[in-house]
Amino acid sequence: MEYSSIAILALLVHIIINYDVLIKTGSKEAQFSTKFYRYFLYGVMSYYITDSLWGLLYDAKLITAVYIDTVIYYIAMAASVFLWTRYVINYLEENNFFKKLFSWIGWLYLFFDVASLIVNLFIPIKFYFDADGIYHACTTRYIALVIQILLFLFTAIYVFIQSARTKGKELYRHRTIGAFGIAMTCFVIAQTFYPLLPLYSIGYLLGTCLIHTFVLEDEKNDYRRKIEDHISREELQKIELGSARKLAYTDSLTGIKNKRAFTEDQRTIEERMANGELKEFGIVVFDLNGLKTVNDTKGHDAGDSYIKNSCHIICEMFKHSPVYRIGGDEFVAFLEGQDYSNRESLIKTFEHLMEENQSNGGIVIANGLEVYNSDGTNTFSRIFDSADKKMYERKRILKESCKS
C-alpha cells in the first residue's frame, strides 16, 4: 500500500497542476510543442495509474492481474519516455541530424520494449513472478532502463548545448527541460537498483512540476502579455481611427459637423425614407446675413468670430438636432423628435430673435423650414430645395425690413 500511495498522490498532483494542459484549455496560448507535452502528460498519467494499481495488486497476491498490469506498466513507461523525446525535439524546433537521431532511437526503443513484452509472454526475458508471487526482473528490463537512462541523459545534454545559443527566459526554459532529463536519469538509475520503490513516479512528479512552473506557466505569461499588447494596440488604433474620423467629419472652425458628415447623413436619411422608416423629419436651411461686410470691414478674424457666434445661436435654439456647416455662411439642421414636434414655436422664436438682432445691430441669420411628407412624393433633395427657397425669401424680407 505504501508503494501505491506514492503513485496515487503523484497522479492526483499531476492532474491538478496540469489540468489546463490535459483538457486543452487555451491550447493556442503556447508553442506548437505544447501538443507533444500534452501527449507526454497523458503517457505519464497512464504510468501513474498502472504503477498505483501494481502496488495494490502485488500486495494482494493477485498474480494474473498484477502480471497484466505489469505489461501495461512497461508499455506506459516506454510510451512516456518516447513521448518525452518527441516533446524535446519539437520544443527545440531544430531540424538537424540530432533531431532525426533522437526520433529514430525513440521509435527503436518503443519497438524494442513492446517486442520484448510480447516475447515475455512465452519466455521470461523482461520479468516473471515465481510460485510465491515474488516479482523478478530479467535482462531486457535492465537493457530498457539503460536505454531510458541514455535517452534522458542525451536529451538533457543536447538541450543544455542548445541553451548556449539562447538568453533570457528562453535560456531558463531550456535549462529547466535539461534539468528534467538529468533528474530522470538519476531516478531511473536508482530505480534500477531498487525495483520495488516508486522512484520512477517520484522523478516524473518532480520533473513535471518543474516544467509546469518554469516552462509552461512562463510561456503562458508571455502569451498573455502579447495578447494584452495586441489588444492595447488595437484599442489605440480604434481611438486613433475614431479621432481621425471625427476630424474628417468635423468643421474645424465651429466644431460642428461638416459637409462630408452632411452628405453621409443625407444618404442615411434617404435610405430611411425609401424603407418607410422615417415619418417625421424636417430641414432648416440657414444663411448668415452680412458676413461679407464683416470680412471686408473688420477682417477675417472678425468674420470667423461672426460665424462661430452664429453657429452658437443656431445650436442653442435647435439643441436636440444635428447642425451642419455646409458652406462658408451656410448651415443646415435636421429636425426629428422633440425639435420636429416644436418646430413652429422654435422657428417663430428664432425669427423673432433675428428681428431683434437686426434692430440692435447684432447677428442676423435667415432661415427656411420644410418638412417631409411621408406619402412618398417628397425626396430629400426636394425638401432641401424647398427649405433653401424659403430661406432666400426670409433673407429678402430681412433685408427689406432693414432698409425701411
- Assign 3-class secondary structure to the chain: CHHHHHHHHHHHHHHHHCHHHHCCCCCCCCCCCHHHHHHHHHHHHHHHHHHHHHHHHHHCCCHHHHHHHHHHHHHHHHHHHHHHHHHHHHHHCCCCHHHHHHHHHHHHHHHHHHHHHHHHCCCCCCEEECCCCCEEECHHHHHHHHHHHHHHHHHHHHHHHHHCCCCCHHHHHHHHHHHHHHHHHHHHHHHHHCCCCCHHHHHHHHHHHHHHHHHHHHHHHHHHHHHHHHHHHHHHHHHHHHHHHHHHCECCCCCCECHHHHHHHHHHHHHHHHCCCCCCCEEEEEEEECHHHHHHHHCHHHHHHHHHHHHHHHHHHCCCCCEEECCCCEEEEEECHHHHHCHHHHHHHHHHHHHHHHHHCCCEEEEEEEECCCCCCCCHHHHHHHHHHHHHHHHHHHHHHHHC
Residues forming CATH 3.30.70.270 domain(s) in the chain:
259-403
Domain 259-403: give its CATH code.
Answer: 3.30.70.270
Q: Which residues pair with 136 in a beta bridge?
A: 128
The three cell numbers of residue 379 are 425626396
The three cell numbers of residue 62 are 493477485
Residues 330-351 as b or e (16 or more Cβ within 10 Å = b): ebbbbbbeebbeebeebbeebb
Residues forming CATH 1.20.1070.10 domain(s) in the chain:
2-231
Please report, in tens digits, the pLDDT of each residue of the chain (404 residues total).
677 888 899 899 989 988 888 886 554 444 546 788 889 999 999 999 999 998 889 888 899 999 999 999 999 999 999 999 988 888 887 677 777 888 898 899 999 999 999 999 999 999 999 988 899 989 999 999 999 999 999 999 988 988 888 887 888 888 888 899 999 999 999 988 887 788 888 999 998 888 888 787 767 777 777 777 777 777 766 766 666 667 788 998 999 999 999 999 999 999 999 888 888 999 999 999 989 899 999 999 999 999 999 999 999 999 999 999 999 899 999 999 999 999 999 999 999 999 999 988 899 999 999 999 877 667 899 999 999 999 999 999 998 887 65
Domain 2-231: give its CATH code.
Answer: 1.20.1070.10
What distances in angstroms separate CA 45 from CA 50, 86, 167, one per listed residue?
9, 17, 32
pTM for the predicted model, two decimal places: 0.56
